[in-house]
Structure 1
């Protein structure tokens, strides 16, 4: 039997990754975007071109030590249980773990247990997980696949015994999820199962007391799956615009589904924001400048996802579906406390490959959301709401606050270094002032309801935000991923994962905010808003870390001179009650030869820049969604373990995480391969 190319199962590519990931992860997570030219071909200026506009370093650092606005700090801490004043976690850092190790490694005196795994049933009538007899129906009632963003929100009045976990499911790996087949009907059902495994899960957790491990509650009224067929409403200035209308939605205000949800954030009013990231790989579309700028494929791939074979709307070449691709790439908002609520896609925050959106509150009550566009040479963005946040927890206040992201101003960042251009030579060598630092400004894209981009109206700016940012001259960055404000200090931290094309050929050269050519190991940026006002359009910045091994050339650890743990490819960031930074990684096996990890980084005092490794995930896995609950120095650390054993196959599984007790067994529905999972690490 001959199988049409679009119906063939996903196959692994030959090794091609130039940076951090395995070829399989490159294929499945981001559609091989590193194997193609970066979509950003704009000629906007770089630091090297603006060095002549350098300024006084003394003025740049004037606000660097300021504390967060009282309103922003209190509200951000309230949104994340465990944030507040405390002593932090006490642990002995672990040694780096060789990349071939199939184990989750934690500090001495700590242990880990799963909270919930791919396929665990969420509802009373959900089917039990049976890897050999999966179906779309069963997956819709089960915990989804590759988990990424996570928050664990303790419920009021529960005395620390009840919580709700909200988890993103970024993508699927059909090669290790399903037994091989060439039957077209079975392959079509596998696509539908994979579609159902995307999206988000909301699930209640319970424990017997503080300090005890959490267990998920099957059948809780709070449990929910949000997936590719879930109905979303559209908010903001682009809602109803012709660019969002399709034959199935002629008014452009209702979208089915969300996919490739990467990181996210929890709002001060208790909802969760989720970023739609590498949505391009799920479509085939016409060749237009707009689609090219987002990397949308224009031809059918024999190894792509090809969802259009089971759902025609993913073929944006077809009449009536040309705009379907414009309905993805947004920040979505889900209310975990109301399982009957309709989630929202917020157009006011712009459309790009959102890693996340994280919110703080300004002194005047407006809310500010930061987000990174996770691709080579893309940008960092900020949204400032038009409305002000209502105080209190009444139903009316919460309903009002759920409208805050529907209107406001959208900005993109331009960074300027303060060192002579000749001192930024691409090696990562510190300039003469011994810091990579400078000033920056937020360039308006939409301001007071009007477009600030010549030749584009407001809806066009929001639907084609990358093109708008190109036109105003934003700074090209090295894959800005998670961007979060520190709830204790108010400073903002951005994980720049890597960019192996920096300074290669005609690509953007090194600059002071991206100081290494062929940047494989990434860096972490610290940003301080002027007057510590998040609505300000000016800021100062510095690089906290230039990642790699402690003895590696061109690495920098915030000026700290003592021993540090090696760290590479920073991805997600989080904070504990002391304001210390926690960083999860995605790509250490391919750069420094160790399993991906979770690290704590000290931000203040003589130990600023000290990196301590807390845990390591199993082979071929990525560390995602860290959450740190550390009351009184004890507590729990949660992480999502994404794509363990990614490079294996159904017949040759590379990991047995987290069910190590029965490796290799597929009898009676027992799984003998990896299951992406949420885990908790607590004291033994």
Structure 2
């Protein structure tokens, strides 16, 4: 996500020479001829007979939607705004539900919000992000998937706005232990009970199900990397456990009712000594290659200086240097970064249950994990993005085939073991003809087994170093893959590609990537009067469909659903023809809602914020292939380059419009709904994030005072949106 520079959201560590689309046009006709035969056969086996329609990516057939979503949006578009408030359409109400510091245990006092609040293990954490709703039965003892009046919210607290966590801002290094402890506690997740009485939604402070999971919570390591030599630390000499989760960004759920939280830009929390490469055996040592590929160079400073809080193990664990003498890393924290970068599964209904890091799903800067509609007798497929410039899109396919009985299991954690600990991890390669391939990441693959840059020891090593394995097989570099989501009406898979300042038209150098069919834009943009912005400034949303709608398919078709752009931009930039009621920049969160089939798109933007704060848009998304091939005529500085791509049908005033604009200097993120579609939850993250440290003593200089107003310090918060007539949101 577009955080301030100290959040390292674009770790920019992919210097591999993986191919662009100009080099993959060969064998087009023979390959697509084979795919034509496989699509209809597989689709008929799973779904019965369907009508088919032509797709925009070529001449393959695509399955007509099995479920029909709403055909238009039923609200008036909200205008762009720079106001320090949340604006929603007429007929709707947005209510602040759960703010940073709000208590979630009996006897904990209301937050003062003056930098003196403590006990954040019993309060809402900071920087609310991905969020999911889990229906709760009337007794409050377990799940009821249909309940809209009582439920649990599971939400991430991605990072911290530490300027406002302390009376006068944070202390410089070395950090006081008490400050570090507080910051560790504001990270992680909240599980908090909510209830609806009439039209009023509130959270239950003293619920027995409320829980904070932090950057210090004990977690299990599960799957192929658990117990491997790469996972062993001083804390866990057998490599079976670790402590904490942080920089949790997107979320997901499972078909059996658990929460998946995704560890995104976790690498910046660690440091290494300037001499650490030498201690590990030099620049070509396997661990050194791995650390650099994940963005932690020797001598790199940590984000918050937690390792300076003292000599105790709680603080030493943030230093990933090799300082011990043991050959297996069990007397220091040289392997500690391998414990992070995973999807973490949590049972929201069992506060005493241990979270599990699911290592079969690969290690990278995880965003949301969305699954394809489960089909009995077929494996499950989860789709995941790696949110850094030039990184990749992944798919995990379970070894176990889906059983409908597992939708309501007696043991949800054991069900997670069944589906998430064994399977195949794939990475996406996008071809220039609108087709794509899922490339298997397995130790037996020749390109991985013989990779010159890094020698993989075993399959656990492939999972720990999924980025290097993806480099080896030639995956396609993407423009910062953010959230994934699946359209329940079509089983199309969507990825938001938020932006990429490293996309170029000429010969790339270092971590740059040349434009290609799936990432086809690089252009000049000016923010305000003078600020120059280059590359894919406004981002886009890519859409994929598995051949035959088969979760185990190794081929797919794709197009670009939407290009972000200012409505006044040239046609070569505003390719989707966005109007003033639709234009947006830097798509980030995206989610389809089961109650209506509508898509919701959230932005985390810095490119268009001279005109408008970040926003939420509603959409009727159509079907992959509903448009056709277009040519993008790029101009960047003095260079021009035309690239062909595949673009979905342009939106109309009824199929895409702005629904909400947030407060100043805030990101709109995280979204879920009650099963009846009558309450929509979103998160407002880091309002006032551009406030300078020197302004902490002067509230008049804060970048925002939301949500409390007046001279208050800004706070991240969850907002619940309801329709005044009691109807479903968006209709």
Name the structure 1 match of 2:164: 176
1:35-50 equivalence runs, <5 A: 38-50=12-24
Partners of 1:659 and 1:636 lie apart in 2 by 22
Name the structure 1 match of 2:283: none
Partners of 2:44 and 2:481 lie apart in 1 by 24
The CA deviation at 1:578 is 3.6
Q: Check if 1:515 corresponds to 2:561.
A: no
Cα separation, partners in 2 of 1:555 and 1:67, compared to 1, 3 Å: farther
Name the structure 2 match of 1:289: 289
1:80-479 equivalence runs, <5 A: 90-98=74-82, 101-132=83-114, 134=116, 138-156=119-137, 159-180=147-168, 187-209=176-198, 212-285=199-272, 286-287=276-277, 288-299=288-299, 301=301, 304-310=303-309, 311-317=315-321, 318-319=323-324, 320-360=332-372, 361-392=374-405, 395-396=409-410, 398-403=412-417, 404-418=419-433, 438-446=434-442, 453-454=449-450, 455-456=455-456, 457-479=458-480
Cα separation, partners in 2 of 1:70 and 1:586, compared to 1, 3 Å: farther
TM-score (normalizing by structure 2): 0.78
Cα separation, partners in 2 of 1:307 and 1:186, compared to 1, 3 Å: closer
Partners of 1:683 and 1:125 lie apart in 2 by 33
Partners of 1:67 and 1:143 lie apart in 2 by 48
Cα separation, partners in 2 of 1:68 and 1:93, compared to 1, 3 Å: farther
Give the secondary structure class of the aligned counterpart of 1:214.
strand
Cα separation, partners in 2 of 1:89 and 1:627, compared to 1, 3 Å: farther
Report the RMSD for the aligned CA atoms in angstroms.
3.1
Asked if the contact 2:94/2:722 (under 8 Å) is kept, the reply is yes
Cα separation, partners in 2 of 1:391 and 1:52, compared to 1, 3 Å: closer
Q: Check if 1:680 corresponds to 2:720.
A: yes
Asked if the contact 1:408/1:448 (under 8 Å) is kept, the reply is no
Q: Check if 1:638 corresponds to 2:681.
A: yes
Give the secondary structure class of the aligned counterpart of 1:189.
helix
Most deviating of 266-275 and 171-180: 171-180
Name the structure 1 match of 2:704: 655
Partners of 1:350 and 1:208 lie apart in 2 by 42
Asked if the contact 1:601/1:608 (under 8 Å) is kept, the reply is no
Partners of 2:371 and 2:589 lie apart in 1 by 15
Give the secondary structure class of the aligned counterpart of 1:357.
strand
CA displacement, residues 447-499 of structure 1 (integer Å, 9 cap, x when unaligned): 89999644422011111111110000000000001112212211100000000
Partners of 1:561 and 1:358 lie apart in 2 by 27
Cα separation, partners in 2 of 1:585 and 1:394, compared to 1, 3 Å: closer
Gapped runs of 5+ residues in structure 1? Answer: 1-19, 72-82, 419-437, 665-671
Cα separation, partners in 2 of 1:84 and 1:512, compared to 1, 3 Å: closer
The CA deviation at 1:231 is 0.8
TM-score (normalizing by structure 1): 0.83
Partners of 1:68 and 1:351 lie apart in 2 by 34
Asked if the contact 1:571/1:585 (under 8 Å) is kept, the reply is yes
CA displacement, residues 243-297 of structure 1 (integer Å, 9 cap, x when unaligned): 0001111000001100000001011111010110101110013441111111114
The CA deviation at 1:61 is 9.0
Asked if the contact 2:157/2:187 (under 8 Å) is kept, the reply is yes
Partners of 1:391 and 1:340 lie apart in 2 by 27
Partners of 1:61 and 1:578 lie apart in 2 by 32
The CA deviation at 1:627 is 2.0
The CA deviation at 1:154 is 2.3
Give the secondary structure class of the aligned counterpart of 1:177.
coil
Most deviating of 109-118 and 503-512: 503-512
The CA deviation at 1:127 is 3.9
1:531-546 equivalence runs, <5 A: 531-546=548-563
Name the structure 2 match of 1:612: 657
The CA deviation at 1:131 is 3.3
CA displacement, residues 177-214 of structure 1 (integer Å, 9 cap, x when unaligned): 222265989843222211100000000001113xx131
Asked if the contact 1:379/1:475 (under 8 Å) is kept, the reply is yes
Partners of 2:36 and 2:574 lie apart in 1 by 19
Partners of 2:24 and 2:619 lie apart in 1 by 32
CA displacement, residues 35-67 of structure 1 (integer Å, 9 cap, x when unaligned): x7x200101111122234444999789969x89
Give the secondary structure class of the aligned counterpart of 2:467.
helix
Most deviating of 485-494 and 439-448: 439-448
Partners of 2:572 and 2:127 lie apart in 1 by 31
Give the secondary structure class of the aligned counterpart of 1:51.
coil
Give the secondary structure class of the aligned counterpart of 2:485.
strand
The CA deviation at 1:102 is 0.8
Most deviating of 50-59 and 598-607: 50-59
Most deviating of 579-588 and 451-460: 451-460
Partners of 2:201 and 2:446 lie apart in 1 by 48
Equivalent pairs counted in the alignment come to 611
Name the structure 1 match of 2:531: none
Partners of 2:575 and 2:45 lie apart in 1 by 21
Asked if the contact 1:68/1:487 (under 8 Å) is kept, the reply is no
Cα separation, partners in 2 of 1:680 and 1:621, compared to 1, 3 Å: same
CA displacement, residues 607-638 of structure 1 (integer Å, 9 cap, x when unaligned): 7634210001101000001224584xx72222
Partners of 2:262 and 2:498 lie apart in 1 by 17
Cα separation, partners in 2 of 1:658 and 1:388, compared to 1, 3 Å: same
Cα separation, partners in 2 of 1:675 and 1:123, compared to 1, 3 Å: same
Asked if the contact 2:248/2:261 (under 8 Å) is kept, the reply is yes
Give the secondary structure class of the aligned counterpart of 1:402.
helix
Partners of 2:14 and 2:688 lie apart in 1 by 32
CA displacement, residues 533-559 of structure 1 (integer Å, 9 cap, x when unaligned): 121000000001111023423567886
Partners of 1:266 and 1:558 lie apart in 2 by 33
Asked if the contact 2:367/2:385 (under 8 Å) is kept, the reply is yes
Asked if the contact 2:666/2:688 (under 8 Å) is kept, the reply is yes
Partners of 1:543 and 1:131 lie apart in 2 by 43
